[in-house]
Amino acid sequence: MNGINRRIAIQTLALTPVIAAACEAMQAGDANQHASTEPKSNAPKAFDNHQYAMLRSVCDSIIPADETSGGAVDAAVPELIDLLASENGDYRTRLTGGLQWLDAACTDRYGRDYLQSSTEERNEMLHLIAYSENATQSPGLSSGIAFFTFLRDLTLGGYFTSEIGMKSLPYLGNQFVAVFPGCPPVPES
Amino acid sequence: MSLFQVIRSPKVYEVCIVGSGAAGGAAAKVLTDQGFEVVMLEAGPMLDVSKHYTEHVWTYDLQHHGYGVGASGYNGEGDRELDVAHIGHTIQGEPYTSAPDSPFSWQRARLLGGRTNHWSRVALRMSEADFRQRSRHEVGSDWPISYQDLSPYYDKVENFIGVYGSIESLASAPDGVFQTPPKPRCTDLMVKRGCDKLGIPCIPGRAAIITQRHNGRIPCHYCGQCTQGCVTASTFSSSQVIIPQAQATGRLTVVPNAMARELLIGKDGKVSGVAYVDKQARAERRVMAKAVILGASACESARLLLNSRSSAFPNGAANSSGAVGHYLMDSSSTSVVGFYPQLTKLPPHNDEGTASVHMYVPWWGENNRNSFSGGYHIELLNGRHMPGPNAFGTVARHFQGFGSDLKKRCQELYGRTALLAVRGSMIPNERSYCEIDPEVVDQWGIPVLRFHFKWSDDEIRMAKHMNENCKAIIEAGGGQVISESGSPQSRYGYLGPGGVAHEVGTVRMGASSKDSVLNGFCQAHDIKNLFVTDAGCFTTNPDKNPTLTILALSWRAAEYLAEGAKRGEI
C-alpha cells in the first residue's frame, strides 16, 4: 500500500472504535518505516535541558570521538536515548533518577554539580561508577553503578547501530554475496 | 448486529488445519498434493512481504535502531523490530499466566507461517537413541515410533525444503539429504581448533537454507538476515515455500486472523469442525470438516483441546488420559562467549554468512558415564553481523569502564568472539505443565493458559557439563572466555523456561491411551478424525531443535490420514 492510500485507509479504519488500537499500531509502524524523512526536533522529549546536557556529556565520555571515528554525540546517540525514554517510563525514571544521583554525588564530593565539576573530577566520578567491583568497597556507589551500566549499554547499542559506529568497526556486510568465501588463513597463535 | 453473531458456513471441508507453521504447512502440502480440499485457520494476518520483511534494512534507517518503540524489542523482551514475525513473549490482548515461582516465557507468532518465519533454521534429525529414552536410561518415556519409522519422512522433508550439511556417520546425529554447507566463518575455525585438540567432534552445520538452486528457489546470498524475511526464499519458511504452492493447487483456503476457540464434537464423538473468532470482524464463526489437524503450536493446541469441554469430554477434547497440557518441556540452554586474539591479525572482511550455523558440535557423550541422562549440542552463532542494540553488552559487562579504551575493545572484539549456544535435552517431569487459568480470558473471550515449570536435577547436572566443556573448547583453541555463563547457584546461566522457544510435549504421543493423547501417527486415541502434529505430540525433548521433526511427523500423519480417508476409515 503506498503512503497516501495507506493513510486514507488508516483514517477510515480509525472511525471504527474497535480497530482504533490497531490503527495506532499501524501508524507507529509507519513512523518506523519512514524515520529518516522526519525532521528532528532539537528539544528533548524526556529530559529537561539540564538533564539533557548531562546526558550528552556522559554519552560523549562513554564513546568519545577519536582520530578514526566520531563519538556517541556525533552519532546522535543522546537523541535516540531521549526517544526511547520518552516512550518508556521505566527508562525515563532510571535515567533521570541516575542523572540526579550523579549531581548529588558530585555535590557531596566536589561541592559542585556534575557539569560544573572539573574535567578531572567528572572523570574520577565516572571511574567510580564504571566498575561493578567498586560497590564491594563502597556500597553507596551501587545505585550509581547500576545507572552507569544501564546508560553504557544504551550508549554502546545506539552507537554501534549508527552509521558512524558501524563504519568504525568496520561492518562490511549487508551485501549480496554469490559464494561465501569463508575465512582467510588464520595464524596458529 | 451483535458483535458476536454466529455465522455458520454450510460448506464441509475434507480437512481443517489449525495453524500455518511447520506442522500446518507440511500437512497442507501433503493433503493438497493428494487432492484433498483443505481449509487452514491462521490467528495472524497473511504475509505481506512489503510490510513484514525488513531484510537489508540498516538499523540506523529505523527510527529506533532496532530497539523497537519504547525499547520493546530490546533483549527479546517483546516485539522484535527487525523480526518478520515480531516474535516476543507478549502479544497485546492475548495474555497468559504463570504459577508463583514458575516463570515461563511463551514465544508466539501471529502471522502466516508462524514461527517458521523466524526460526534459526537449524535442522537436526533425532537419533535412534532419542526415541528410546526410557529403554536406555530408565527415565522419561519411549516414543511409540522409532527412528526407522520417521527416517523416510526426514528424507522427504529435506528433499523438499532444502537443508545443508555433511555426511558424518555419527550415531547421535543421523545424516540426511544435504546440500553443500557454506564454508566456516573465522570463529568457527577457532572453535574447531579447540575441539580437535580435545577430541570433540565439530562438523559443518545443518540448516534449512539452500546453497544451490532448489525446486525453483535461488540460493542464499549470505546477508545473515534470515529472521528478517528472505526475499529470495532461500531460507525455509512455511509462508514462502509451502503455502503459496498449496494455494496454487486450488484446494487450500486460508482464513487469516482466525483465532480457534473450541473444537466442535458431534454426537458420534468425532470432531465435526472448529469454532473460531474472526479477529477483524470480532465475530464468532465456525468451519466444518471431516477431519481436523492441530498445528497451532504445542501449548496453543493443548489450550484448544482443554477449552473444548463437552459431555463426552468433560476434561477437554481427546483428554480421557488427563495428559493434555502435561509433560511440558523446553530445551535446556546455556551459552559461553570466547574471544580469539589470533583473529585480530586478519584484515576486516565480510564474514557474515547465513543467519544460522556454519559449524556445530553434535552430542559426543552418549557412550560416556555421565551424571545425567540427556545430551546436548553446541551451536556456533557468530560472525561479523550487523550489530543490533545488544551486540556489545557482553563486551561492556566483561571489560566495564568507558571512553577510548572501551571503544577500542569493542572494535577489537567485533566479529572475533564465538558464541557457543548450547541446546540440551529435557526429561518430561510432573511439575512442568500448562493448564487453563480459571480466572483469565484473552480479548477474544478465550480462557488462557497458566504455566508451571521446573527443571529437573538431571538438567541442572548437565548444565555443569555444558559450561565446563564450552570453556575448555574456547581455551584449547587459544581463546579467552569473556562471558561466564553463571555459577552453580545460577544453574550455570540456564536460560529461563521458554527462553529457547522449543516448547514441546503437551499433547504427547504414546503406546498407551492411559498416559498419552495420541498414537504414533499423531492421531488422538479418543477421537479418530483428530490429529495434533505440532511439537505438542513429542514424547520427549532430545537436544535436537524441533522444527525438522515437526515437519517429518506432520508429513507422516497427513499421509496416514490421506490413506485412511481413501479407505473410508477416517
Spell out which residues of chain A touch residue B345, defining contact as CB-CB under 8 Å: 186-187
Domain annotation covers residue A178: no
Number of A:B CB contacts under 8 A? 188
The pLDDT value recorded for residue B16 is: 98
Q: A108 and A120: one domain?
A: yes
Q: What is the mean pLDDT of residues B242-253?
A: 98
Chain B closest-CA separation from residue A185 CA (Å): 8
B228: helix, strand or coil: helix
| A61–B64 C-beta distance less than 8 A | no
Phi-psi region of B114 (alpha: psi -120 to 50; beta: other; left: phi over 0): left
Cell numbers of A31, please? 513512523
Q: What mean pLDDT is predicted for residues B52-65?
A: 92
Rounded Cα distance between B107 and B128, Å, is 29
Residue with cell 469454532: B275
Q: Which three cell numbers stand for residue B101?
A: 515461582
β partners of residue B18: B41, B294
Chain position carrying cell 553503578: A145
Residue A179 forms part of a structural domain? no
Q: Are residue A116 and residue A129 in the same domain, yes or no?
A: yes
Confidence of residue A21 (pLDDT cuts 50, 70, 90): very low
ipTM of the complex: 0.91
CB B5 within 8 A of CB B284: yes
Share of chain A above pLDDT 70, in %: 78
Question: In Å, what is the CA distance from B335 to each residue of A101, B119, B381, B421, B424?
Answer: 35, 18, 10, 5, 11
Considering the domain architecture, whether residues A106 and A92 belong to the same structural domain is answered as: yes
Contact A83 B349 (CB under 8 A): no
- Taking each helix axis as running N to C, give the angle between helix A49-62 and helix A119-129, from 0 to 180 degrees, rounded to the nearest 10: 70
Residues 6+ apart with CB under 8 A from B424: B331, B332, B333, B334, B374, B375, B376, B459, B462, B463, B466, B543
State the nearest Cα–Cα gap between B487 and chain A, in angstroms: 17
Q: In terms of domains, do A158 and A91 share one?
A: yes
Contacts of B342 in chain A (CB under 8 A): 186-189
| A39 close to B (CB below 8 A) | no
Q: The pTM is what?
A: 0.92
A187: buried, middle or exposed (CB in 10 Å: 19+, 13-18, 0-12)? exposed
The residue that leads in pLDDT, B80 or B363, is: B363
Average pLDDT for B292-301: 98
Residues of chain A found within 8 Å of residue B4, distances taken between Cβ atoms: none
Question: Which pLDDT score, from 0 to 100, does residue B8 have?
Answer: 57
The percentage of chain B sitting over the pLDDT mark of 90, rounded to a whole number, equals 83
**In this structure, are A15 and A56 located in the same domain?**
no
Instruction: List, for residues B521-567, the tens digit of each pLDDT value.
Output: 999 999 999 999 999 999 999 999 999 999 999 999 999 999 999 99
For residue B72, which of B407, B389, B294 has the smallest C-alpha distance? B389
Nearest CB neighbour to B189, from listed A168, A170, A186 = A186
CA distance A16 to chain B (A): 11
Does the beta-carbon distance from A84 to B186 stay under 8 Å? no
Find the residue in A nearest to B59 (Cα). A161
The C-alpha cell at B347 is 584484515
Q: Is A126 on the interface with B (CB under 8 A)?
A: yes
Determine contact, residues B243/B252, Cβ cutoff 8 Å.
yes
**How far, CA to CA in Å, does B21 sit from each of B112, B237, B364, B383, B530?**
7, 8, 31, 28, 18
A17 within some domain: yes
State whether A15 and A82 are in the same domain: no
β-strands B203-204, B359-361: how paired?
Answer: antiparallel
Checking if the pLDDT of B450 tops 90, the result is yes
pLDDT of residue B489: 55
User: In terms of domains, do A104 and A146 share one?
Assistant: yes
In which region does residue A146 sit, left (phi positive, over 0), alpha (psi from -120 to 50) or beta (all else)? alpha
The contacts of residue B246 (CB under 8 Å, 6+ apart) are B25, B28, B29, B32, B33, B38, B252
Least Cα separation, residue B365 to chain A (angstroms) = 28
B185: which chain A residues are within 8 Å (Cβ-Cβ)?
Answer: 182-183
- Please check whether residue A189 lies inside any domain of the structure: no
Same domain, yes or no: A33 and A46: no
Does residue A187 belong to the interface with chain B, where contact is any CB pair within 8 Å? yes
pLDDT at A1: 31
Burial of A122 (0-12, 13-18, 19+ CB in 10 A): buried
> Which residues in chain A are closer than 8 Å to B71, comparing Cβ atoms?
84, 87-88, 91
Does A126 contact B343 at a Cβ distance shorter than 8 Å?
no
The answer for B 38-57 residues in CB contact with A (under 8 A) is 51, 56
With an 8 Å Cβ cutoff, is B384 touching chain A? yes
Q: What is the pLDDT of residues B368-406, one digit of tens each?
A: 999 999 999 999 988 899 999 989 999 999 999 999 999
Is any Cβ of chain A less than 8 angstroms from the Cβ of B282?
Answer: yes
The rounded distance, in Å, linking the Cα atoms of B57 and B65 is 10
Contacts of A183 in chain B (CB under 8 A): 183-186, 188-189, 346, 351
Chain B residues touching A181 at Cβ < 8 A: 183, 349
Tell if the CB–CB gap between A166 and B406 is shorter than 8 Å.
no
Are residues A11 and A54 both part of a single domain?
no
> Which residues in chain A have their CB less than 8 angstroms from residue B225's CB?
174
From B283's Cα to the closest Cα of chain A, the distance in A is 12
**What band does A29 get if pLDDT is binned at 50, 70 and 90?**
very low
Same domain, A68 and A143: yes
Q: Which CATH number fits domain B171-231+332-424+456-493: 3.30.70, 3.30.410, 3.40.390, 3.30.930?
A: 3.30.410
Report the domain count for chain A: 2
What are the chain B neighbours of A169 within 8 Å (beta carbons)? 348, 384, 387, 410-411, 414-415
Residues A119 and A150 in one domain: yes
Q: Are residues A77 and A162 in the same domain?
A: yes
> Residue A26 belongs to what domain range?
1-38
Within-domain flag for A175: no
pLDDT mean across residues, chain B: 93
Give the pLDDT of residue A15: 35
Note which residues in 156-175 of chain A have CB less than 8 A from chain B. Answer: 156-158, 160-163, 165-166, 168-175
Torsional sign, CA A180, B383, B80, B328:
positive
Check CB contact under 8 Å for B67 and A130: no
A-chain residues near B407 (CB < 8 A): 63-64, 66, 71, 168
Nearest-CA distance from A119 to chain B in Å?
13
Whether residue A185 lies inside any domain: the answer is no
